[in-house]
Amino acid sequence: MTNPRNDARPTSRGALVLAGVVSLVVGSVVPFGGVLLYPFTLLATWVHEMGHGVTALALGGGFDRLEIFADAAGLAHTTGTAEGWPRGLVALGGLVSPAIAGAVVLAGARGARRAQVVLAVLSLALLLSLVVWVRSLAGCIAVPLVAFALLGVAVWGSPRERLFLAQFVGLRLAGDTLGRGLSYAFADAAIIDGTRRPSDIAAVAAGFGGPRLGWSLVVAVVCIAFVGVGLFAAWRRPRQRLRSARLPPA
């Protein structure tokens, strides 16, 4: 006989579908839905700027501070990276980090227990960055709010709630990648904190050489690939369940 309790367990596939429906309805139908999704937009900005900073640290440079602004723009202030490809790599780190993080969250949160770990790790990373790097008013408000919301669900939420929120976070990061992220990847400049600045893709082209449009296409392909892998991993049924599904009932 099949176990109805096992059949009723939440799955990443079901959580992904529910997260997609909720995201679509809130973003397109619910009045002021953009306001409700705003913290997740700031989360994507945080991931982008942390990508710059962590890449700089990995190359032996410095990561002085991180700023997130109310319009969801951001700045990572890094130091100590040499001209040329190191600077280009730091710029590239921010461009691809939301896609990578989204894929990791989608693929990693394939069960309620794993989703709990994903939410807890993400919330602790947010709090660590708040102490060490975040130095803007919007960031100092948004980062702890998001961190404690994720941590609260990780600690006190039901298995279904943990799985849903983890898949929702991964889906929002993926959606931001395919929306804001790809648009920014093809821009030559951006207005950040009231100042027009060269875009990250311009810094990538300057660091590595070659046409900016070519690098934009490379970044777009890489980001789309990561998002696709994450979505596929979240949608794929676990092997154990596939094997048990093939067994005849006792």
pLDDT tens, residue by residue, 126-182: 999 999 999 999 999 999 999 999 999 999 999 999 999 999 999 999 999 999 999
pLDDT value of residue 236:
85
Q: Which two tokens stand for residue 141?
A: 């408000």
**Mean pLDDT, rounded, for 17-37:** 93
The CA distance from 36 to 22, in Å, is: 11
For the cut 50, the answer to whether the pLDDT of residue 7 exceeds it is: no
The Cβ-side half-sphere exposure at 208, using a 13 Å CA radius, reads 18
Note the pLDDT of residue 91: 97
Q: 64-78: b or e for each residue (b if 16 or more CB lie within 10 Å)?
A: ebbbbbeebbbbbbb
How much is the pTM?
A: 0.91
The pLDDT of residue 242 is 45
pLDDT score of 19? 95
The helix or strand, by DSSP H or E, that contains position 194, with its residue range, turns out to be: none
Residue 197 is encoded by which pair of tokens? Answer: 């600045």
Is the pLDDT at 82 greater than 60? The verdict is: yes
- Spatial separation of the C-alpha atoms in residues 123 and 39, rounded to whole Å: 13
SS3 8: coil
Which residues, in sequence order, are bridge partners of residue 195? 192
What are the backbone angles phi and psi of residue 82, rounded to the nearest 5°? -75, 160
Using pLDDT thresholds of 50, 70 and 90, give the confidence band for residue 250: very low
| Domain definitions of the chain by residue range | 10-26+33-70+80-237
**114/225 Cα distance (integer angstroms):** 23
**Alpha-carbon 141 to chain mean position:** 19
Q: Are 36 and 64 in contact (CB under 8 A)?
A: no
DSSP annotation of 31: T
